[in-house]
Amino acid sequence: MIKVLSAEQINKWDLFTIKNEPISSIDLMERASEAFVKLFLANTKGKPKVDIICGPGNNGGDGFAIARLLIENGLKVNCNLIDFGLKLSEDCRKSYRRFLDISQVNIVKQANGLILNGDIIIDAMFGSGLNRPATGLAREVIQLVNQSKSKTIAVDMPSGLFADKVNLSGKIIEADWTITFQAPKLSFLIPESGFYVGEWSAVDIGLHAGFLEEESANYFLFEKSDIDCSLFDRNKFDHKGKNGRVLIVAGSLGKMGAAYLSAKAALKSGAGLLTVHIPRVGYVPMQTSLPEAMVSLDPEHDFVSKIDKVDEFDVVGIGPGLGMNPKTGEVLKQLFTSFNRPLVIDADALNLIALDKELLNLIPRGSVLTPHVGEFNRLFGKCDDGLERIEKVKLIAVEKQLVIVLKGAHTVVATPDGEIHFNSTGNSGMATAGCGDVLTGIISAFIARGIDSSTSARVGVCIHGWAGDIAENTVGKTALMASDLLCALPQAFCNVKDSDFI
Ligand SMILES: NC(=O)C1=CN([C@@H]2O[C@H](COP(=O)(O)OP(=O)(O)OC[C@H]3O[C@@H](n4cnc5c(N)ncnc54)[C@H](OP(=O)(O)O)[C@@H]3O)[C@@H](O)[C@H]2O)[C@@H](O)CC1
Ligand SMILES: Nc1ncnc2c1ncn2[C@@H]1O[C@H](COP(=O)(O)OP(=O)(O)O)[C@@H](O)[C@H]1O
Ligand SMILES: [K+]
C-alpha cells in the first residue's frame, strides 16, 4: 500500500534520505534524473529531438541533468531556462553548470524567446515546490507548450499543478505522460487535477524506507500486490454452502442485462450459491443465459415490488437496473429493517434512497454503497471539487459506519474507520454501460464468502479494474464492454493466485 503524501511530506522525505542514507542532494537529483531517463528511453522509439524547459528550482535542476544524460545517450536536445528573475536553487545551479560543460542553454526572458523545435517536450519548470498559481511569463510558456503538437512529458509533476490541492486558477501544463519520483501525488488521483497529468508512472529513486514507517498519511493507493491471496483459498472439503449465499436484487423492464451482469460477476467471483430476485419479465432470459443462478420471481412483471425470505443469505446486492418505481423503494425499506447483514447498494437503489433520505439511517452497518459521482451528488449534495468530495465521503463513511465506494478513474474506497484508499487498476475503456453492475456482483460475492466489507470493497475494486486492464489488452479500449470484464475475471483471479507462488 502506498502512502499518498503531501508536498511538505515529500520534501521531508527527500531531506530524511539525504541525512540518513546519507547522500548529497545533488547526487539524489542525479539518481532521480537517471531513473527518469531510463524509463523515458525504454519507452521511446528511435532518437527523437527533445526540447527541455527548465525552471529555477530543483525541478529545473532535474531538467538540466536529464538534458545532459539524454545528450550522453546520443539524443539531440534543445535546453531552455525560463528566467523569472529568481535565483537558481543551489542544486539547480550545480546541475546547470554541469550541463554548460557539454552544451548551451537558451535563456528565456520573454515567451517569444522560447525555442520549441523538437519532437518531444520535457517539462521541468516547476515540480512539488510550486507555491503560487502560474501567471505572467510562466503562464505564457505553459500556453505555448500546450498549443504545441509535440508530446509533453512532465518531470515529477506537470508545471503549474499543485501536489496536494485542487487549485486550477493558474495555467497548467497538459502532460501526455508524467514520470513522477517515488510515489504519485494526491492531485494525480483526483479527476479535475489528474486531467493535467496524463498517464503517469512512478519511478523508484531510492528514497529512504525508514521515513515511511514513522510518517502518517491521510490517503493510500491500493495496488494489486496488496491483495491477500489467502482470501481466495478453498478448503479441499468445501461444499457450495460454505462459499457464501448471495442474493442479487436487480433488473426491471428494459434493464434486465444489469441483473445478468451482476449475477454472473458474483458467480465468477466465487459465490457458492446465487439467487437473483427479478421481475417476471426477466425469467426466461435469466434462466437461459445464466443456468447456474437460481431465480426468485417477483409478483410484478416489470419491476421489483416484494421480497419475502432473505434470512438465508449472507449478503444482498441490490440496485443494478432496478428502476425507480415507488414500490421498489418500499422493498428497500423492508430490506434495511429486516436484513441485519451487509448489503451492497448500487445504481437505482442509491437513486431511490436519494428520494427518501431517511432510508440512509436504516442501512445496516458495514454495508457498501457504490455510487458514481452523479449518484453521490444526488445522495449527499454537490461539492466544489473532487478533493472536497473525498473528504465528505470520508466523514459520511465514519458517521454512518458504511463503506463508500466512489467510482471513477481512481475509485475511492472510504471505510468506517476513516481510511481512504485510491484504486490503482482500471482504464478508461471501462467508461461504458454495465461495468458498475459487474462490480456490485464481485463485492457481494466476497462479502458472502466471509471477507469483511472494507476488504471486500478494496479488493473487489482492484480486481474489477484488473479485469478491465486484462480486457483492454485483449479487445482494446474502444470495443471493451462489461461482458469482457466477466471474461477477464478468471485471469485476474489466476494472476492473484500465481503471484502467491512467486
Ligand atoms: N529535494 C530533493 O533533494 C529532490 C528534489 N527533486 C526535484 O525537486 C523538485 C522540487 O524542487 P523545489 O522544492 O526546488 O521546487 P520547484 O518545483 O523546482 O519550484 C520552486 C521554484 O519555483 C519558483 N516558483 C514556484 N511557484 C512559482 C510560480 N507560480 N511562478 C514562478 N516561480 C515559481 C520558486 O520561487 P520562489 O517561491 O522561491 O520565489 C522556486 O524558485 C521536485 O518536484 C523534484 O523534481 C528531485 O531532484 C529529487 C531530489
Ligand atoms: N476512466 C476510467 N478509468 C478507470 N475505471 C473507470 C473509468 N470510467 C469508469 N470506470 C469504472 O467503471 C465502472 C463504471 O460504473 P458505473 O458508472 O456505475 O456504470 P454502470 O452503471 O453503467 O454499470 C466503475 O467501477 C468505474 O470505476
Ligand atoms: K515539471
Spatial distance between the Cα atoms of 155 and 28, rounded to a whole number of angstroms:
15
* Assigned C-alpha cell, 216: 502518517
Which of 219, 236, 261 represents a domain boundary (last residue)? 219
Binding residues for K(+) are 59, 123, 159
Chain centroid offset of residue 291 CA: 34
Spatial distance between the Cα atoms of 80 and 104, rounded to a whole number of angstroms:
9
Identify the CA nearest to 189 among candidates 463, 390, 430: 390
- Strand 273-278 to 245-249 pairing: parallel
Domain co-membership, 193 together with 270: no
Contact 499, 463 (CB under 8 A): no
Q: What is the pLDDT of residue 194?
A: 97
Spatial distance between the Cα atoms of 294 and 267, rounded to a whole number of angstroms:
11
Domain co-membership, 124 together with 271: no
Averaged pLDDT score across all residues of the chain = 96
Is residue 224 one of the residues assigned to a domain? no
Q: What is the pLDDT of residue 432?
A: 97
Closest ligand 1 atom, residue 131 Cα: 26
pLDDT above 70 as % of the chain: 99
Which residue, judged by its Cα, is nearest atom 15 of ligand 2? 436
CA atoms 286, 291, 293, 296: torsion sign: positive
Ligand nearest to the CA of 461: 2
Using the mean position of ligand 1's atoms as its centre, give its distance from the Cα of residue 214 in Å: 25
Residue 500 binned pLDDT confidence (cut-offs 50, 70, 90): low
Which residue, judged by its Cα, is nearest atom 5 of ligand 2? 409
Q: How far does the chain reach from its first CA to its final CA, in angstroms? A: 19
Q: What CA–CA distances, in Å, run from 3 to 283, 432, 461? A: 47, 30, 18
* Assigned C-alpha cell, 360: 440512509
In 138-267, at which residue ranges do the beta strands (DSSP E only) sit? Answer: 151-155, 177-181, 199-203, 219-222, 245-249
Binding residues are 58-62, 123, 127-133, 156, 159, 258, 321, 372, 407-411, 436-437
Residue 499 binned pLDDT confidence (cut-offs 50, 70, 90): low
Contact 495, 467 (CB under 8 A): no
Closest ligand 1 atom, residue 33 Cα: 47
Is residue 128 one of the residues assigned to a domain? yes
Domain co-membership, 347 together with 477: yes
Q: What is the pLDDT of residue 308?
A: 87
Contact 170, 160 (CB under 8 A): yes
Domain count, the chain: 2
* Assigned C-alpha cell, 214: 514513522
Is residue 360 one of the residues assigned to a domain? yes
Ligand 2 mutation pick, 435, 470, 477, max ligand atoms within 8 A of CB: 435
Convert the pLDDT of each residue in 360-381 to its tens digit. Answer: 999 999 999 999 999 999 999 9
Domain co-membership, 205 together with 251: no
Domain co-membership, 284 together with 151: no
Range of the domain at 492: 244-501
CB of 433 within 6 A of ligand 2: the answer is yes
Residue 358 binned pLDDT confidence (cut-offs 50, 70, 90): very high
Closest ligand 2 atom, residue 372 Cα: 17
Contacts of 287 (CB under 8 A, 6+ apart): 293, 295
At 169 the three-state DSSP class reads coil
ipTM: 0.94
Q: Report the DSSP beta bridge partners of residue 122.
A: 52, 153
Domain co-membership, 215 together with 329: no
Ligand 1 — pocket residues by CB below 6 A?
Answer: 14, 25, 28-29, 32, 55-60, 62, 84, 86, 89, 126-134, 138, 155-157, 181
Q: Report the DSSP beta bridge partners of residue 154.
A: 123, 178
Instruction: State yes or no: pLDDT of 32 exceeds 60.
Output: yes
Ligand nearest to the CA of 374: 2
Ligand nearest to the CA of 406: 2
Residue 188 CA neighbour count, 13 Å, CB half: 33
Is residue 49 one of the residues assigned to a domain? yes
Q: Is the peptide bond before 22 cis (omega within 30 degrees of 0)?
A: yes
- Identity at 199, one-letter amino acid code: E
> How many C-beta atoms lie closer than 10 Å to residue 22's C-beta?
9
Convert the pLDDT of each residue in 377-404 to its tens digit. Answer: 999 999 999 999 999 999 999 999 999 9
Chain centroid offset of residue 261 CA: 22
Using the mean position of ligand 2's atoms as its centre, give its distance from the Cα of residue 406 in Å: 10
**What is the CATH classification number for the domain harbouring 53?**
3.40.50.10260
Domain co-membership, 403 together with 337: yes
Ligand nearest to the CA of 7: 1
Binding residues for (6S)-NADPHX are 58-62, 127-133, 156, 258, 321, 372, 437
Domain co-membership, 378 together with 253: yes
Place of cell 425499506: 333
**What is the CATH classification number for the domain harbouring 494?**
3.40.1190.20
Is residue 119 one of the residues assigned to a domain? yes
Closest ligand 2 atom, residue 461 Cα: 25
Domain co-membership, 275 together with 392: yes
Mean pLDDT of 447-459: 98
Contact 341, 318 (CB under 8 A): no
Q: What is the pLDDT of residue 502?
A: 42
Domain co-membership, 383 together with 304: yes
Which of 219, 236, 266 represents a domain boundary (last residue)? 219
Is residue 236 one of the residues assigned to a domain? no
Residue 114 binned pLDDT confidence (cut-offs 50, 70, 90): very high
Is residue 486 one of the residues assigned to a domain? yes
Residues with CB under 5 A from ligand 3 (ion): 123, 127, 154-155, 159
Is residue 230 one of the residues assigned to a domain? no
pLDDT above 90 as % of the chain: 96
Closest ligand 2 atom, residue 347 Cα: 21
Domain co-membership, 178 together with 128: yes
Instruction: State yes or no: pLDDT of 501 exceeds 70.
Output: no
Which of 219, 252, 286 represents a domain boundary (last residue)? 219
Spatial distance between the Cα atoms of 295 and 315, rounded to a whole number of angstroms:
16
Computed over its alpha carbons, how large is the radius of gyration of the chain?
26
Domain co-membership, 311 together with 196: no
